[in-house]
């Protein structure tokens, strides 16, 4: 009875403000871009982290609480990506709708194909390992489609009258994404099987989709800064494997990657892991356009 009353109470505020746009807050810009694709003009969406920021180390600024307290839906990347900053923000938001497990809390990882799920014992000797799998899963367009579908379903759940609208938006997104995917796949096809090194292990889904081989990382372990001994090992590995590309996220220092590049004749590519990493990368499509353009040029240059 109490639960029934409380759940009724929980549903009251949205129906009272039905004419208003749904207020969606996301942890990262990629989730915001996907939510915007399916939410159209029925939602207002804002991301907490910026696209050029390391999503592991966002500060729990009180100004984010101002966004969260009025949110109807909070979309998180999950898999403990936001564990260092989001939980206190959710607790202090004073917003029952977005608490973990409530109707307005959506963990997008449930929809996506997740790689690098550790098997066996997980210890921090492996670095800042994510026991539930690699959280950088949005960089596979097929996952983008799955996440968008999941978000469309959730938006319909929160805002039932507009269910058909969200589904229609998703269909439209799906078609545009399929067309774009053909273009991207074609652009990357000549480079399938090429070997790359990344700074952090943030590209497994991208590499899987486009057939790249990630042979090593500049970080000796996830979240551990480069060490001289590991760097020497990596240089040896790159020379043996004839790997000529080092991919670096915009929030990492370029010093070590550049010194590796000098020793191996490789080139450093500052790719973008997230929407908004550069001004012109305003959406999910632009993100792939940007990265694939960078990569194909780099592959051509190191033929």
Partner 1 sequence: MRNKMVCALVVCVLTFPAIAQGAPQQGAAPDSSAIEQRMRELEDRVIALEGQIRALRAAQGQPAPTPAPASGEATAQTAPAPAEPQAALARAEQGPSLGGAGGSAAKALNPDISVIGDFIGALGGNSQQNIVSLQPAPAFQMHESEVGFQSIIDPYARGDFFVSFGEEGVNLEEGYITFTALPAGFVAKAGKMRSAFGKVNTMHNHVLPWVERPLVSNNLVAGEDGIDDAGFSMQRILPAPKGIFLEATGQLFRGDAGDVFQSSRRSDVSTVAHLRAYKDISESTNLDLGVSYARGHNDMGSDFLTHLYGADATLRWKPLRRSIYHSFVARSEFIWSDRQQLPATQKSFGYYASADYQLGRRWFLGGRYDHSDRSRDHALTDKGGSVVLTYWPSEFSQLRGQYRFTRYANDIDANELFVQLIFSLGAHGAHPF
Using CB under 8 A, list all residues that contact partner 1. Answer: 6-7, 9-10, 50, 52-54, 57-63, 65-66, 69, 80, 83-85, 87-88, 90-96, 99-103, 105, 107, 109-114, 124, 127-128, 132-133, 146, 149, 153, 157-158, 167, 170-171, 174-175, 223-225, 250-253
- Tell me the closest approach of the beta carbon of residue 225 to partner 1, in angstroms: 5
Q: Which two tokens stand for residue 296?
A: 């194909």
How many CB atoms lie under 10 A from the CB of residue 139?
A: 24
Q: Is 148 helix (H, G, I), strand (E, B) or coil?
A: helix
Q: Which residues, in sequence order, are bridge partners of residue 213? A: 195
Name which of 233 and 253 has its Cβ closer to partner 1.
253
Burial of residue 153, with CB atoms counted within 10 A of its CB: 0-12 exposed, 13-18 middle, 19 or more buried: middle
- Tell me the closest approach of the beta carbon of residue 193 to partner 1, in angstroms: 22
- Tell me the closest approach of the beta carbon of residue 233 to partner 1, in angstroms: 19
Q: Is 256 helix (H, G, I), strand (E, B) or coil?
A: helix
Name which of 23 and 53 has its Cβ closer to partner 1.
53
- Tell me the closest approach of the beta carbon of residue 286 to partner 1, in angstroms: 19
Name which of 9 and 301 has its Cβ closer to partner 1.
9
C-alpha to C-alpha distance for 278 and 233, rounded to whole angstroms: 32
Could you list the beta-strand ranges (E) of 36-190.
Answer: 43-47, 73-76, 105-107
Name which of 40 and 220 has its Cβ closer to partner 1.
220
Q: Which two tokens stand for residue 162?
A: 């507009």
Name which of 167 and 282 has its Cβ closer to partner 1.
167
């Amino acid at each position: 009875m109490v639960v029934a009353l409380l759940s009724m109470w929980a549903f009251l505020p949205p129906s009272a403000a039905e004419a208003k746009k749904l207020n969606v807050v996301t942890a990262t810009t990629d989730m915001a871009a996907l939510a915007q694709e399916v939410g159209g003009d029925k939602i207002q969406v804002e991301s907490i982290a910026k696209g050029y920021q390391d999503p592991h180390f966002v500060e729990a600024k009180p100004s984010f609480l101002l966004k969260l307290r009025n949110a109807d839906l909070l979309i998180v990347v999950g898999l403990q990506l936001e564990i260092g900053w989001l939980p206190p923000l959710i607790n202090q938001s004073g917003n029952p709708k977005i608490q973990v497990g409530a109707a307005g809390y959506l963990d997008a990882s449930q929809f996506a194909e997740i790689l690098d799920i550790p098997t066996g014992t997980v210890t921090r000797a492996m670095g800042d390992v994510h026991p539930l799998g690699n959280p950088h899963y949005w960089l596979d367009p097929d996952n983008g489609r799955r996440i968008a579908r999941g978000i469309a379903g959730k938006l319909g759940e929160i805002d039932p009258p507009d269910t058909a609208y969200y589904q229609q938006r998703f269909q439209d997104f799906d078609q545009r994404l399929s067309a774009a995917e053909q273009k991207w796949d074609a652009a990357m096809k000549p480079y399938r099987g090429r070997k790359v090194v990344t700074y952090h292990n943030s590209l497994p889904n991208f590499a899987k989709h486009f057939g790249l081989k990630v042979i090593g990382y500049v970080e000796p372990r996830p979240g551990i800064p480069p060490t001289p001994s590991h760097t020497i090992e990596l240089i040896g590995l790159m020379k043996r494997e004839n790997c000529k590309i080092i991919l670096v996220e915009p929030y990492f220092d370029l010093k070590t990657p550049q010194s590796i590049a000098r020793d191996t004749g490789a080139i450093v590519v500052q790719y973008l892991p997230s929407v908004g990493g550069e001004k012109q990368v305003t959406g999910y499509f632009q993100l792939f356009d940007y990265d694939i353009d960078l990569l194909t040029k780099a592959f051509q240059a190191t033929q």
